[in-house]
Structure 1
Amino acid sequence: MLFYFIALLVTLVDQGTKIAVRMYMEVGEVMRLGDSGMQLQHYENSGMAGSMFQGNARLFGVIAVLFIAGMLYYRHKGEIRGFWMQAGAGFMVGGALGNAIDRFVYARVTDFLVFPSGQGILNLADVAINIGVVMIIIGMLIRAYQRYREKRLRNALPKG
């Protein structure tokens, strides 16, 4: 249930923020958020990360759907289990679905988050995908450590 809850929540929050940006900000409009250096800027991206391959939004939407199908398949197979893996996959699927909805409905993705580091312009779906990747890596490291400990324990037991 954790996987589906996170995926649904991410999708709804992502779509809600994008609707608000489209309703209340003109394309190109910038809004500074205090002294943090962070700002909102309404940008419409018909390509992919870094504004590459403009005009191919629906193609990237198909790729997102294939990614989601793959994640559902591996989850059904039991490959994605445990808190970190389930939550990470939920964040990634929710983010992919949020951007896929934009790509199919509007033929572009609404971006609006500009961080002080200057690493481009993102939306909450992009942030969720990044969070999901980090959580999956943590889950993989935990699983590898547990296997290592089990192997060490088995080798330490007397044989016979």
Structure 2
Amino acid sequence: MFWIVLSLTLDQITKHLATLYLRFGEIKNLFGFFHFTYATNRGIAFGLFPGVKEAVIYLTLLIIVITSLVPLLFKVSKLTEMFIGFIVGGALGNLVDRIRYGYVVDFLTFDYWPTIINVADIFIFIGSIGIMIQMLIAESKAKKQIEK
């Protein structure tokens, strides 16, 4: 629960600051390859499928519920709980935007990344990669056990 609240709070605070201090489309160079650029996203990842707001809201709610149940139904490590918390908190952050504004607030750009993102997206990415790495490690350990 701590990780959900942390990621949701950081996401919403940073989005609020972006809306206060950036104008739509404005680019502020932070350093080298990293910039602040205020934008809105009415679709899903990379702005795909704009105009399906209700479907995205219901799908997001379903994913949040299912993902949140994993630590309750299965014994998972503290690290896995953290990664799941990041995913759920990030999904909630973007969901709050969709319900409140009808779009998601994005404001982070990198020179070699094709789209504008936000803190929720970063938490979802870190959580997803973390869980994938844990799954690969677990699979490798299971294979080694079978080979013995």
- After TM superposition, the score normalised by the length of structure 1 is 0.84
CA drift of 1:8 comes to 1.0
Distance in 2 of aligned mates of 1:86 and 1:144: 19
Kindly provide the amino acid, as one letter, of the partner of residue 39 in structure 1.
H
* Residue of structure 1 equivalent to 2:24: 27
* Residue of structure 1 equivalent to 2:68: 72
* Residue of structure 2 equivalent to 1:40: 36
Contact 2:64/2:91 (CA < 8 Å) preserved in 1?
Answer: yes
Kindly provide the amino acid, as one letter, of the partner of residue 13 in structure 2.
G
* CA offsets 1:119-146 (integer angstroms, 9 cap, x no match): 2110011111110111001211232233
SS at match of 1:40: strand
- Indicate the RMSD between aligned Cα atoms, in angstroms: 1.6
Contact 1:84/1:139 (CA < 8 Å) preserved in 2?
Answer: no
* Unaligned stretches of 5+ residues in structure 1: 154-160
The match for 1:99 among 91, 94, 101 is 94
* Residue of structure 2 equivalent to 1:5: 2
* CA offsets 1:59-107 (integer angstroms, 9 cap, x no match): 312211110101122222106x113322211111111010000011111
Contact 1:91/1:128 (CA < 8 Å) preserved in 2?
Answer: yes
SS at match of 1:122: coil
Q: 1:53 to 1:129 in 2, by over 3 A?
A: same
Aligned pairs, number: 148
* Residue of structure 1 equivalent to 2:47: 51
SS at match of 1:129: helix
* Residue of structure 2 equivalent to 1:89: 84
Distance in 2 of aligned mates of 1:58 and 1:22: 24
- After TM superposition, the score normalised by the length of structure 2 is 0.91
Distance in 1 of aligned mates of 2:114 and 2:69: 32
Contact 1:61/1:99 (CA < 8 Å) preserved in 2?
Answer: no
Task: State yes or no: 1:116 paired with 2:111.
Answer: yes
Distance in 1 of aligned mates of 2:79 and 2:136: 10
* Unaligned stretches of 5+ residues in structure 2: none
Q: 1:21 to 1:58 in 2, by over 3 A?
A: farther
